[in-house]
Amino acid sequence: MDGQYYNFSNPKLKKPHFLGGLKLYPVCLDNVKLSEDIMLLDDLLDRQEIQAFEVSEQGLVQNIGLKNLSQFHTLVIDGEAVIGAKQNRIAQTTMILGPNSETVIPVNCVERGRWAYSHKRAFQKSEFSISPKMRDKKADLIRKKEHHNIQSKMWEEIDILSNKFATVSSTDDLGEVLSSTNNDTIENLENFYNDNCNGYIVFGTERPFIELFNNNM
């Protein structure tokens, strides 16, 4: 991967949105340029150019395998989820995988009540990732070298979300909990579609944070 991986230039803020207890400022960038050598995990899963699977027939909760069949480096983002196989998982940290490579990566379970193959043995792309709060708590445990406590903390946070949204998942599945959130809140997200921006600065959580994306979509 030669040259600069990304370039975020001349950020501008728009008027904020209010969503529940959150205040979100759209961040707009004049130019976003990512390395043409890198593709996101989700995009390669869509193209069927990467395979995600259990590391053995018995499986390991803390690991999954990724086989990159493409010529691109694969960006796996901290907290993004894959679903299926024996249970749904999230990436424990951000990493870049080489082209035409096979790698075992560290993951955490976000579906406590299932340990059996679904109708598809391979993992599939998901439509969710962990919350910024969950990501912060996981990162704090990693900094403290308390990796052994990460899994129980993720399950604890899923229980908190389930109680908050008054939802029940038969397998304590984070994706199912998130999909059952208040429809009014989801509909309010349509107000964001016209921002034409690249991310948001978010206030109203335990600590403010910023999320930036490589394209407006």
pLDDT in tens, 71-129: 999 999 999 999 999 999 999 999 999 999 999 999 999 999 999 997 788 999 998 99
Question: At 3, is the pLDDT very low, low, confident or very high (cuts 50, 70, 90)?
Answer: very low
Sign of CA dihedral 177, 181, 186, 188: negative
Judge whether 75 and 39 are in contact, CB under 8 Å. yes
H/E element, 33: strand 31-34
Residue 217 in domain: no
Residue 114 inside a domain? The answer is yes
Burial pattern 67-102, b for ≥16 Cβ within 10 A else e, equals ebebebbbbbebbbbbbbbbbbbbbbeebebeeeee
Determine contact, residues 112/101, Cβ cutoff 8 Å: no
In a domain, 1, yes or no: no
Q: Is residue 138 part of a domain?
A: yes
Contact between residue 66 and residue 50 where contact means Cβ atoms under 8 Å apart: yes
pLDDT more than 90, % of the chain: 63
Q: How buried is 149 (Cβ within 10 angstroms: 0-12 exposed, 13-18 middle, 19+ buried)?
A: middle
Expressed as residue numbers, the domain containing 103 is: 6-212
Structural domain total, the chain: 1
Q: How confident is the model at residue 192 (pLDDT cuts 50, 70, 90)?
A: confident
Q: Is 35 helix (H, G, I), strand (E, B) or coil?
A: coil
Backbone Cα Rg of the chain: 18
More confident residue, 45 or 31: 45
Distance CA 42, CA 46 (A): 6
Which helix (H) or strand (E) is 143 found in, with range?
A: helix 132-143
Residue 155 lies in a domain: yes
149 falls within a domain: yes
56 located within any domain = yes
Instruction: Tell me the pLDDT of the chain averaged across its residues.
Output: 87
